[in-house]
Amino acid sequence: MYHEKLDPFPDNFLWGAASAAYQIEGAWKDDGKGPSIWDTFSKIEGKTFEGTTGDVAINHYYQFKEDVALMKKMGLKAYRFSVSWSRIFPEGEGKINQAGLDFYEALVDELIKNDIEPLLTLYHWDLPQALQDRYNGWESRKTAEAFVNYCRVLFERLGHKVTYWITMNEQNVFISLGYRWAAHPPIIKDLKRMYEANHIVNIANAKAITLFHEVVPHGKIGPSFGYGPVYSLTSDPRDVLAAENAESINNSWWLDVYCKGKYPEFVLKQLGDRGLKPTILKEDMKILASAKPDFLGINYYHGGTVKRNNIECKEDRQDKKFSKVDPYLMQSQEDPNPSPEMAMFSSVENPYLEKTAWEWEIDPVGFRVALRRVQAKYDLPILITENGLGAVDELTASEEVHDTYRIEYLQEHLLEVQQAITDGVDIIGYCAWSFTDLLSWLNGYKKRYGFVYINRDDFDEKNLARIPKDSFYWYKDVIQANGANLL
Ligand code: BGP
């Protein structure tokens, strides 16, 4: 679709940047904080890149004022951060740690003092270890109860200061990596347990949203979803159908619950046929239906491409062109828990897209596709809560970082956001991932995303100096011009 002229970004557009507690704070056991499942997981040998942990991270807990001063210098309008649950409740529930609450209130005050809108994420993957030990984490409704209670404490303490709240960050990612691929805590590979845990997270999310509207009637709340639009490899209707299948199970499975308050029938039926349907109590459907998010948070990095599945098209298995399929699609048919995807589609490479050094497809137009699809299906204002480029950056001898590749990436993506706005999508803000460099969950400190370079690496904390990169000054100009200088 061609527009002769692009609409401007809205006047009050939230130009932002994002982070998450475990990836920046450090101070992992200071001032009464309890351990989270990431504190435990990262210390198991071989689990993270070069054994990196968030023990010190970028020391934001102690240097947050310096970080906010840099945000101010950049002219940032909004800053997305997450609260570490086990800083507030070291045991996940029970006794409150006041020092934890004080820290987040001080951060919020500092942001407000500097005219930066705080965007608070309630759960960015760092479940208190005590809840994992006591209840099996998200596999128990007790954890959902503890989550809602933790949310209540934050709503009551910060509800008059923070307008925008995000419930779950990328439920699709932490559930799949934690319970299917065993790549994240709690290191489980079991589809049945995955779908059960996922349902309980949905209940926790819905209850938190409903409670929020009672306690903070003027605030706004929504989940952040890691959305990747699915493309069909060809116009063969069987491939198109496969793409529909993938869109349903990869995206609508979560988004329908958030935005329509119910599961998509197609996916439920497939799970039921395979004995994977979660236990859904009668009252659960009411809980899901009653939660009304005010906006939808979208994290966008890339989408995916599929073709018809390998079982239906045996001949394709010999076809070298399509050989790069996800390994799980090759799972044995005798498997007592066959994955539903196996019968639905096969993932393939997209021949049109280039990739980052970490093999993530670079697809700015896919961003516009994503925003358009989500708007068309759910009709909620969209807050872009993450988008960015992970790369190896080099600090020059004169302490500069010339990250032109990052500027190019962000510029192309932001132009697609502007195209989507011109198409008619209601987008209230954009948070680049990330403000400073930080710990990448499984890729250590080597994979950098920030506008601000942090002088540390995987082996040495060095002096943790904050050094604005070229992209910092570029984004500053973009914000100042309200995006008018992107073209
Ligand atoms: C998202 C997470 C972020 C962040 C980002 C980049 O899925 O919400 O916390 O880490 O991805 O991912 P990575 O660090 O794996 O490159």
Out of 433, 438, 445, 447, mutate this one to test ligand 1's pocket (max ligand atoms within 8 Å of CB): namely 433
- Active-site residues: which are they? 170, 386
What does the DSSP 8-state code read for residue 248? I
Closest ligand 1 atom, CA of 358? 16
Per-residue pLDDT band for 325 (boundaries 50, 70, 90) equals: very low
Closest ligand 1 atom, CA of 224? 8
Is the shortest distance between the CB of 350 and ligand 1 below 6 Å?
Answer: no
Phi, psi for residue 478 in degrees, rounded to 5: -60, -45
Output helix, strand, coil percentages for the chain, rounded to the nearest 5: 45, 15, 40
pLDDT at site 313: 63
Q: Are 131 and 137 in contact (CB under 8 A)?
A: yes
pLDDT at site 337: 54
Q: Which domains does the chain have, with CATH numbers?
A: 14-232+294-300+358-480 (3.20.20.80)
pLDDT at site 333: 43
Residue 141's nearest CA partner among 290, 280, 346, 259 is 280
Residue of the CA atom closest to atom 4 of ligand 1: 440
Calculate how far, in angstroms, residue 13's C-alpha sits from the geometric centre of ligand 1: 24
pLDDT at site 400: 98
Q: Which of 298-312, 419-433, 437-451 has the lowest mean pLDDT?
A: 298-312
Is the shortest distance between the CB of 169 and ligand 1 below 6 Å?
Answer: yes
Q: CA end-to-end span of the chain, whole Å?
A: 17
Per-residue pLDDT band for 328 (boundaries 50, 70, 90) equals: very low
Query: Before 19, cis peptide (omega within 30)?
Result: no
CA-to-CA distance for 67 and 450, rounded, in angstroms?
12
Residue 166's nearest CA partner among 334, 63, 20, 15 is 20
Beta bridge partners of 4: none
Mean of pLDDT values over 396-418: 98
Calculate how far, in angstroms, residue 90's C-alpha sits from the geometric centre of ligand 1: 25
**336 pLDDT higher than 80:** no
What's the token pair of residue 377? Answer: 């299906």
Residue 100's nearest CA partner among 111, 112, 115, 84 is 84
Segment 81-113, tens digit of pLDDT:
999 999 999 999 999 999 999 999 999 999 999
Burial (CB count within 10 angstroms: exposed 0-12, middle 13-18, buried 19+), residue 452: buried
pLDDT at site 372: 98
Calculate how far, in angstroms, residue 232's C-alpha sits from the geometric centre of ligand 1: 25
pLDDT at site 427: 98
Residue of the CA atom closest to atom 10 of ligand 1: 440
What's the token pair of residue 389? Answer: 């480029």
Mean of pLDDT values over 406-421: 98
CA-to-CA distance for 395 and 212, rounded, in angstroms?
44
Calculate how far, in angstroms, residue 99's C-alpha sits from the geometric centre of ligand 1: 28
Is the shortest distance between the CB of 386 and ligand 1 below 6 Å?
Answer: yes
Residue 15's nearest CA partner among 291, 331, 418, 379 is 418
Segment 12-64, tens digit of pLDDT:
999 999 999 999 999 999 999 999 999 999 999 999 999 999 999 999 999 99
3-state SS assignment for residue 370: helix
Mean of pLDDT values over 257-268: 98
Is the shortest distance between the CB of 226 and ligand 1 below 6 Å?
Answer: yes
Segment 233-253, tens digit of pLDDT:
999 999 999 999 999 999 999
Q: Which of 105-109, 252-256, 333-337 has the lowest mean pLDDT?
A: 333-337
Closest ligand 1 atom, CA of 20? 9
CA-to-CA distance for 352 and 55, rounded, in angstroms?
40
From the CB of residue 274, how many other CB atoms can be counted at a distance below 10 Å?
Answer: 18
Q: How far is CA 106 from CA 67, 92, 118, 315, 401, in A?
A: 13, 22, 12, 62, 31
Residue 359's nearest CA partner among 327, 323, 321, 390 is 390
CA-to-CA distance for 134 and 231, rounded, in angstroms?
42
Query: Any idea which residue has 């009050």 for tokens?
Result: 12
CA-to-CA distance for 93 and 480, rounded, in angstroms?
43
pLDDT at site 318: 52
pLDDT at site 268: 97
Spatial neighbors of 350 by CB under 8 A, at least 6 apart, are 231, 233, 305, 361, 363
Out of 122, 440, 443, 447, mutate this one to test ligand 1's pocket (max ligand atoms within 8 Å of CB): namely 440
Share above pLDDT 70 across residues of the chain, in percent, rounded to a whole number: 94
pLDDT at site 342: 80
Q: What is the mean pLDDT of the chain?
A: 95
Calculate how far, in angstroms, residue 449's C-alpha sits from the geometric centre of ligand 1: 9
Per-residue pLDDT band for 315 (boundaries 50, 70, 90) equals: low
Closest ligand 1 atom, CA of 173? 7
CA-to-CA distance for 277 and 273, rounded, in angstroms?
8
Calculate how far, in angstroms, residue 158's C-alpha sits from the geometric centre of ligand 1: 26
Is the shortest distance between the CB of 390 and ligand 1 below 6 Å?
Answer: yes
Is the shortest distance between the CB of 86 and ligand 1 below 6 Å?
Answer: no
Calculate how far, in angstroms, residue 23's C-alpha sits from the geometric centre of ligand 1: 9
Is the shortest distance between the CB of 385 and ligand 1 below 6 Å?
Answer: no
Is the shortest distance between the CB of 433 and ligand 1 below 6 Å?
Answer: yes
Mean of pLDDT values over 212-231: 98
Calculate how far, in angstroms, residue 440's C-alpha sits from the geometric centre of ligand 1: 6
Share above pLDDT 90 across residues of the chain, in percent, rounded to a whole number: 92
Query: Before 327, cis peptide (omega within 30)?
Result: no
Residue of the CA atom closest to atom 14 of ligand 1: 440
Mean of pLDDT values over 136-141: 98
Is the shortest distance between the CB of 387 and ligand 1 below 6 Å?
Answer: no
Out of 121, 298, 386, mutate this one to test ligand 1's pocket (max ligand atoms within 8 Å of CB): namely 386
CA-to-CA distance for 242 and 305, rounded, in angstroms?
10
**338 pLDDT higher than 90:** no
3-state SS assignment for residue 73: helix
Segment 152-178, tens digit of pLDDT:
999 999 999 999 999 999 999 999 999
On the CB side of 84, CA atoms within 13 Å amount to 34
Mean of pLDDT values over 406-419: 98
**219 pLDDT higher than 50:** yes
